[in-house]
Amino acid sequence: MSYPISEIRVKKAYVKLRKTFRTALSEREGENVVYICVIDKRGNVGYGESSPSRAVVGSSVLSIIDGVELFLEHAIKQELTGLDLCKVRKIFENYVKNPKDALTGIEMAFLDLSCRELGLPLWRFFGSERKELTTDITVSLGDPYDMVEEARNYIARGFRILKIKLGEPEKDFERIRILLDNIPSRIKIRIDANQGWKDLKTAMKFIKVLESYDNVELIEQPLPRWMIDDLRILREKTNLPIILDESIMSIRDIVHSWCRGACDGINMKLMKFGSVIDGFQACRAARELGLKIMVGCMLETQVSITAAACIAAACDVDYVDLDSPLLIDSIDVKVNGGVTYDCDKIILPSDPGLGVKLEI
């Protein structure tokens, strides 16, 4: 039996990184995230997380909190239960609308509560039989020799797949040469330019160099998000898979990019899609279109990473990029449970829902 919601709590938390993290889009030492706690009248609890991204989604921690609190005003009046996921979406679209990553955290909390009431881990809810995944780990953009040192540290710890951040054209030739010449060929390399190569000619120069390395597995978002026609031309001129991230914000974007022949695959991130359910459906849609699938993340903790990992397992995705908890030094809210890591292995929780507990 499902019981009406009696309370929704919102808590901002600061996530401190182990070291400064740079991409072509931003540089940061940490980030605020927003946790959502949904409690029903029997005392059952569901948890969710929203992680803002001004550069990609256009949200901030304040806009997320405002969105959740506006949702709260309307949700409590309607005596929603954990199973009312369709009503949750309708209330948000009618009264809140943005930012959409606020809906991600709200929906996640209701979904977690529903699965707890059903006694199902979220990965089972999505139909997965898998409990383990293998993730890459990200080497931050910076001085090439510092990047080599960071890469070697990860390799020494047992990581077998590295995501290398690029996207500064004036320095990337040096980075590619120094990095790839100093990383063992047994290590798979995923290149992420974060839209940093601003035109087709520049991107082609870099890709021709990258093609000479057998361990380069893919190139992610080499051009700005709106350059779909140039991405199609780029894809036609290389055998390396082109994976789109910032260009893909919705299922409509997936279909559009596929129709234009602009990519070999997509990077699904829950905060971009604004819905856990939409994220799952996006992966299913991409698979039906014959596209490769990566499941990635913003700077998120194990709450939303668990939700993303459950989708990745259920959809048997090609690439897993769910490393953000490995980059975190501390969180000023105590978070227990959820996914655990054994080096590059992600182990999904056996407890119902997300299997997490927060002290908020």
Average pLDDT (328-339) is 96
pLDDT greater than 70 at residue 1: no
pLDDT greater than 70 at residue 100: yes
pLDDT greater than 70 at residue 324: yes
Residue 339 per-residue DSSP state: -
- ∠ CA 333-56-178, rounded to 5°: 95
List the structure tokens of 318.
């090609």
For the chain, the structural domain boundaries read 5-120, 124-358
Burial pattern 114-144, b for ≥16 Cβ within 10 A else e, equals: bbbbeeebbbbbbebeebebebbbbbbbbeb
Residue 54 per-residue DSSP state: T
Confidence of residue 59 (pLDDT cuts 50, 70, 90): confident
- Asked whether the bond before 144 is cis by omega within 30 degrees of 0, the reply is no
User: What pLDDT does residue 173 have?
Assistant: 95
User: What pLDDT does residue 12 have?
Assistant: 96
**Residue 82 contacts by C-beta under 8 Å, 6 or more apart in sequence?**
2, 3, 5, 38, 40, 44, 46, 110, 113, 114, 116, 117
User: What pLDDT does residue 132 have?
Assistant: 97
User: What pLDDT does residue 2 have?
Assistant: 77
Confidence of residue 126 (pLDDT cuts 50, 70, 90): very high
Distance CA 270, CA 305 (A): 9
Q: Report DSSP letters for 142-191, one per residue.
A: S-HHHHHHHHHHHHHHT--EEEEE---HHHHHHHHHHHHHSS-TTSEEEE
pLDDT greater than 90 at residue 299: yes
| The CATH number fitting domain 124-358, selected from 3.40.50.360, 2.60.120.640, 3.40.718.10, 3.20.20.120 | 3.20.20.120
User: What pLDDT does residue 189 have?
Assistant: 98
Burial class (CB in 10 A: 0-12, 13-18, 19+), 208: exposed
pLDDT in tens, 11-40: 999 999 999 999 988 889 999 999 999 999
* Mean per-residue pLDDT of the chain: 95
Provide, rounded to the nearest whole percent, the portion of the chain with pLDDT above 90: 88
pLDDT in tens, 101-117: 899 999 999 999 999 99
Confidence of residue 4 (pLDDT cuts 50, 70, 90): confident
Chain-centre distance of CA 245, in angstroms?
10
Residue 206 is which amino acid?
Answer: F
In this structure, the strands spanning 137-139 and 161-165 are parallel
For 5-120, CATH gives: 3.30.390.10
pLDDT greater than 70 at residue 199: yes
pLDDT greater than 80 at residue 191: yes
Confidence of residue 334 (pLDDT cuts 50, 70, 90): very high
Confidence of residue 81 (pLDDT cuts 50, 70, 90): confident
Distance CA 96, CA 284 (A): 27
User: What pLDDT does residue 316 have?
Assistant: 96
- Sequence length of the chain is 360
Provide, rounded to the nearest whole percent, the portion of the chain with pLDDT above 70: 100
